[in-house]
Structure 1
Amino acid sequence: MILTTCAACAAPLAHNAPRCVRCHTRYCNKTCQMDHWRRGHKQICKRIHRGGNAEQYYAEKKYKEAVAVAVEACAADTKGQTCYICTQALHWKTKEGLVRMCACRGTAGFAHVSCLAEQAKILLAEAEENNLDLKTQNARWQRWDRCGLCEQMYHGPVKCALGWACWKTYLGRPEDDGVRIMAMSVLGNGLALVGQHEDALSVRDAELSASRRFGITERHILIVQGHIAITYEQLGRFEDALRILKDVHCGCLKLYGEEHERTLRAANNCARNLVHAQRHEEAKSRVRTLMPVARRVLGESHSITLTMRLIYAGALYRDDDATLEHIREAVNELEDADRIARRVFGGAHPLTKGMEAELPRARAALRARETPSTSA
């Protein structure tokens, strides 16, 4: 992964920390470097160098591990299928199996991670070579994040494997290269989606540091800060997360206005954090204000609108002061939102799975409130 910690003692490193002359493995200082050399680095230093030096070597290793996990996770769905890109069941070069990566129907929903990565790489390279406009380049860059046919975002182990594929493709570019910094973002998102939050935080911190050092746009910095806050939240550091999320929301309001999709997403993140921190009244107040805006601007079936309903329902029934009507409202919200999510995104999508996880809890809370106690 991005080498932000000392290989010997795991202490956080600055971007210009000293490194091994041959393989570029980074260390705190010469003492750590000599200690690591004696503890085994001497035996693998040449191998790492031949593999493209430390960053490339570890990215290739992690990529292969992530692909194996993704193929295993999709094995039941991909049995008897072929890749819609190369038309083979087993990749001719890497010998990897297939993954089920999106909501495409028929044979179009199956591919090799290597084929998806090569397709995304070629499309962006063509855009750069032909000096196509920034809008076109951004659209092609999205092929690292979503299916080019149904446009659904990749998720789970497939997203993680593509994150490593993206990072190993562009890590050799100069540190101030915008595409290299964007590759960090793709990797951080992939790690977060499989629960590797400590690693994701390390990558996101490196991305934020590089973005600030090299003058990347305010828009991108806001995105990175939002990702860091969500990672803090996943690690249970809710106050740290809320502080950043509020800053991000204010920044989005200034940059985009209250009706922009990014602003609404930032507001969702704030509300979700408030629910996790058990500040339910504040969460409900925020969502009630934003819900009409999301429905008007994005529509009922948009992922942001559905996420907002999921957050609102959680704030309703989890509140210790919730009335019976509040809990019934939460169950109704979740049942309706779950039907829409299943129809639009399918049963394997994280949003639908979130509904599945929350609905039984809300129903249990309703049954507990409706059932008279034994003493009564």
Structure 2
Amino acid sequence: MILTTCPACAKPLAHDAPRCVRCKLRYCNKTCQHDHWRRGHKQMCKKIHRGGNAEQYNADKKYKEAVAVAVEACAADTKGQKCYICTQAVHWKTKEGLVRGCACRGTAGFAHVSCLAEQAKIVVAEAEENNLDGERWSSRWNQWFACSMCKQNYHGVVRCALGWACWKTYVGRPEEDRLRRLAMGVLGTGLSLANRPEEELSVKEAELAMVRRLGASEEELLATQGNLANTYAFLGRFEQALDMNQESYLGYLKLHGEENVYTLRAANNLADVLLSLQRFEEARSLMRKATPVARRVFGQSHDVTFTMKKIHAEALYHDPGATHDDLREAVTILEELERAARRVLGSSHPRVRAIERSRARSRAVLRAREDA
């Protein structure tokens, strides 16, 4: 269901829209189907069918494009290195180059996206075969988006390429299949981290519609709503994001209590939207409540704690009513946070760069106030 618009007229598609009999490409109506056939689909239909039908064909194509982008982005960092999985510089079959998108140091962490995907596919298949659950299941599924050695989540275009790899692996399964649904979420997050918000939005809206249609659990519904809310926020649709984030936060709080990682991440998402809406005191209040919990449960060096400190500092220095003490506190928080995040995540991590930018802005605001 990632092909969410009619190929003839670009209107949004219903999940049960009419399909081409051979390749399963969906259309909003028969008129568009006939028009698209005359305008070139006739020549492509057999090829798409041989490629596994429309969704599989599209996923394979998008995957190849995403891998090429990731390899190019990592080219300077991976020059002269070899894949830690297959030990080759160039993949023997796909001829793709290497990527790197985690916290591994030295010569570790270089790999082909194809090798990472095959590794994840194998361990997840073993988990299915052995009926694993809980942490044993999660540790295997996480290999679709996290390094198996340093355990850090991949980021940027590498995460996007792995998202398409995950989706193309499970797209052929029935809609109600658990892995297919999880793969859609992995893809949506990958598109987000590669700064592809319009594509991300179509995936996440389709995912939420699917979850509601299938009558998924409350937890899955909350997670899907939260992910979509983040996309709305990125696109500047803050009121929509606020409603969904409030619902997700209160839902997680009721389900799991305040010390759960999902509750705390939802608190961060809600505070971030409040910040965007310039509701600074509400954002600070939520962070003052949640940050001690995050420190107690996860420690000072956890991603959740890093995010809370950053939002709290930004809610201080962005506020036009902030005092000199507020601004100095914001600068201090961000300076300490930058050092800690660089030590834990590495200098090239997007979160570290975001903290650096925020620290620079906080200093500029403080200097402007002192010069006034």
Gaps of 5+ in 2: none
Letter in 1 for 2:262: R
- Check whether the contact 2:101–2:156 (CA below 8 A) recurs between aligned residues: no
| Per-residue Cα deviation, 1:270-296 (whole angstroms, up to 9, x for no partner) | 001111111111111111122211111
Q: What is the match of residue 252 of structure 1?
A: 252
Q: What is the match of residue 205 of structure 2?
A: 205
Q: How does 1:1-376 map to 2 (within 5 A)?
A: 2-372=2-372
Shift of 1:134: 4.7
Letter in 2 for 1:8: A
**Kindly tell me: are residues 361 and 134 of structure 1, through their superposed partners in 2, closer, same or farther at Cα, counting changes over 3 Å?**
closer
- Check whether the contact 1:280–1:316 (CA below 8 A) recurs between aligned residues: yes
- Check whether the contact 1:8–1:36 (CA below 8 A) recurs between aligned residues: yes
- Check whether the contact 1:7–1:36 (CA below 8 A) recurs between aligned residues: yes
| Per-residue Cα deviation, 1:310-355 (whole angstroms, up to 9, x for no partner) | 0011110111111111111111110000100000111122211110
| Per-residue Cα deviation, 1:5-54 (whole angstroms, up to 9, x for no partner) | 11111111111110111111110000111111122212211211111111
Structure 1: distance between partners of 2:352 and 2:131: 40
Structure 1: distance between partners of 2:146 and 2:156: 12
Shift of 1:217: 2.2
Letter in 2 for 1:105: R
Structure 2: distance between partners of 1:84 and 1:26: 41
Q: Find the residue that maps to 1:96 and give its secondary structure.
A: coil
The TM-score with structure 2 as length reference comes to 0.98
- Check whether the contact 2:101–2:158 (CA below 8 A) recurs between aligned residues: yes
Shift of 1:142: 0.7
**Moved runs in structure 1, 4+ residues, more than 4 A?**
none
Task: Let me know the Cα RMSD of the aligned residues.
Answer: 1.2
Number of residue pairs aligned between Structure 1 and Structure 2:
372
Structure 2: distance between partners of 1:366 and 1:331: 8
Shift of 1:106: 2.4
Q: Find the residue that maps to 2:114 and give its secondary structure.
A: helix
Q: Which moved more, 1:294-303 or 1:86-95?
A: 294-303
Shift of 1:87: 0.1
Q: Which moved more, 1:49-58 or 1:232-241?
A: 49-58
Structure 1: distance between partners of 2:276 and 2:321: 16
Identity within the alignment, %: 65
Q: Which moved more, 1:88-97 or 1:21-30?
A: 21-30
Structure 2: distance between partners of 1:192 and 1:277: 21
Letter in 1 for 2:210: A
**Kindly tell me: are residues 344 and 261 of structure 1, through their superposed partners in 2, closer, same or farther at Cα, counting changes over 3 Å?**
same
- Check whether the contact 1:264–1:304 (CA below 8 A) recurs between aligned residues: yes
| Per-residue Cα deviation, 1:129-149 (whole angstroms, up to 9, x for no partner) | 233335422221111010111
Structure 2: distance between partners of 1:228 and 1:356: 27
| Per-residue Cα deviation, 1:94-118 (whole angstroms, up to 9, x for no partner) | 0000001211122221000000000
Structure 1: distance between partners of 2:294 and 2:123: 33
| Per-residue Cα deviation, 1:33-83 (whole angstroms, up to 9, x for no partner) | 111112221221121111111111111111011001000111111010000
Structure 2: distance between partners of 1:172 and 1:206: 16
Structure 2: distance between partners of 1:123 and 1:108: 20
Letter in 2 for 1:103: A
Structure 1: distance between partners of 2:49 and 2:326: 61
Q: Find the residue that maps to 2:163 and give its secondary structure.
A: helix
- Check whether the contact 1:103–1:152 (CA below 8 A) recurs between aligned residues: yes
Q: Find the residue that maps to 1:109 and give its secondary structure.
A: coil
**Kindly tell me: are residues 275 and 87 of structure 1, through their superposed partners in 2, closer, same or farther at Cα, counting changes over 3 Å?**
same
Letter in 2 for 1:149: M
Q: Which moved more, 1:211-220 or 1:340-349?
A: 211-220
Q: Find the residue that maps to 2:13 and give its secondary structure.
A: coil
Structure 2: distance between partners of 1:135 and 1:320: 46
Structure 1: distance between partners of 2:284 and 2:3: 41
Structure 2: distance between partners of 1:188 and 1:87: 30
Q: Which moved more, 1:221-230 or 1:131-140?
A: 131-140
Structure 2: distance between partners of 1:125 and 1:193: 26
Structure 2: distance between partners of 1:17 and 1:90: 42
Q: Which moved more, 1:264-273 or 1:41-50?
A: 41-50
